[in-house]
Amino acid sequence: MTKHSAYTAKVADDAGYIDYTSEEDGVWRDLYAQQLPNIRALCAAEYLAGFDTLGLPDDRVPQCPDISARLRELTGWQVEPVPALIGFRQFFTMLANKTFPAASFIRSRADFDYIKEPDIFHEIFGHTPLLTDQRFASFSEAIGKAGMTAEAKDHAWLIRLYWFTIEFGLTRDGGAFKALGSGLASSPTELPHSVHGADVIRREFNVMDILRTPYRIDIHQPIYFVLEDIDTLLQAAERDLIADVHAAQDLGLFAPAYPPKQKAG
């Protein structure tokens, strides 16, 4: 996880609240309005149930203390503002302590349709609905606890299990693909790409295959893994994930399904 960001973190007051400007509230309002019909059509029932349970404001940036109060009632989780990008160790530690790290800034109009790094729209609109479901909350906690015991060299391997499920997972409903992942729910372009894209590779959920699949954060994913049964996540959480990581390292990464990055200049 790189720690470089083009954005500056917003600072919360002593009660955890952030003073967002009317312009920033307007970006949230317009992102929300644009994405609402997309999630209704393309997201999984589990995500939508959490979204409706939270009742996020549609006209202003939500505040972490308000979201945390609701999550604590449901699954014991909370949301804490952090700088845009944090290191693996801090990320895993926060998950292990049932705390979701939320970037505090919201994207600019220039990055309205696509932003390479997480902002508060991605964090709150994308992630917190899943954290109302005990299965996703427990899986996230398990990833965090595994990461706390892992060596630094294992972190980039373990995070793939989070990436291809909580961030970019798919499921199936009545034969149709539906989006589970938070990165899909908050993206107006990648959400339809993941569900309807003709050139997308959709693979059966498999822990070892996921751990061996490389990805890039700056493009639409060419590969998605499909959870036929959400309870499969609980089974995965009970595995010895660090042993799985070491087994994946012995086998090696699959060949990337994406083109190499173009070198500047």
pLDDT digits (tens, 9 = 90+) for 218-261: 899 999 999 999 999 989 999 999 999 999 999 999 999 998 88
Residues whose CB falls within 8 Å of the CB of residue 156, separated by 6 or more in sequence, listed in order: 88
What pLDDT is stored for residue 263 in this prediction?
65
Q: Is the pLDDT of residue 166 over 60?
A: yes
Residues whose CB falls within 8 Å of the CB of residue 118, separated by 6 or more in sequence, listed in order: 84, 85, 103
- Do the strands 78-82 and 99-103 form a parallel or antiparallel pair, or are they unpaired? parallel
Q: Is the pLDDT of residue 114 over 60?
A: yes
Decide if 196 is catalytic.
no
What pLDDT is stored for residue 259 in this prediction?
85
Question: Has 220 been labeled as part of a binding site?
Answer: no
Decide if 104 is catalytic.
no
- Share of residues in the chain with pLDDT > 90 (%): 89
For 99-240, where are the alpha helices, taking DSSP H only? Answer: 120, 134-149, 152-162, 182-185, 190-196, 207-211, 232-237
Give, in order, the Cα–Cα distances in Å from 210 to each of 143, 148, 169: 14, 20, 11
pLDDT in tens, 8-50: 999 999 999 999 999 999 999 999 999 999 999 999 999 999 9
Q: Is the pLDDT of residue 201 over 60?
A: yes
What pLDDT is stored for residue 200 in this prediction?
96
What pLDDT is stored for residue 5 in this prediction?
75
Q: Taking the domain 22-251, which CATH number applies?
A: 1.10.800.10
pLDDT in tens, 122-154: 999 999 999 999 999 999 999 999 999 999 999
Q: Is the pLDDT of residue 174 over 90?
A: no
Q: How confident is the model at residue 4 (pLDDT cuts 50, 70, 90)?
A: low
Question: Has 167 been labeled as part of a binding site?
Answer: yes
Per-position DSSP letters for 181-195, written without gaps between them: -HHHHT-TTHHHHHH
Task: Tell me whether residue 93 is exposed, middle or buried, using C-beta atoms within 10 angstroms of its C-beta: 0 to 12, 13 to 18, 19 or more.
Answer: middle
Per-position DSSP letters for 82-118, written without gaps between them: E-S---HHHHHHHHHTTEEEEE-----GGGSS--SS-
| Catalytic site residue from 167, 182, 187, 220 | 167
- Share of residues in the chain with pLDDT > 70 (%): 97
pLDDT in tens, 51-84: 999 999 999 999 999 999 999 999 999 999 987 6
| Catalytic site residue from 104, 122, 182, 194 | 122
**What is the pLDDT averaged over residues 103-121?**
92
- Candidates 18, 204, 26, 22; CA nearest to 102 is 18
Decide if 193 is catalytic.
no
Decide if 155 is catalytic.
no
Q: How confident is the model at residue 116 (pLDDT cuts 50, 70, 90)?
A: confident
Tokens 């996540």 identify what position? Answer: 233
| Catalytic site residue from 104, 182, 186, 187 | 186
Question: Has 155 been labeled as part of a binding site?
Answer: no
What pLDDT is stored for residue 1 in this prediction?
44
- Is the torsion defined by CA of 79, 83, 88, 89 positive or negative? negative
| Catalytic site residue from 46, 68, 117, 127 | 127
What is the C-alpha separation between 94 and 97, in angstroms, rounded? 5
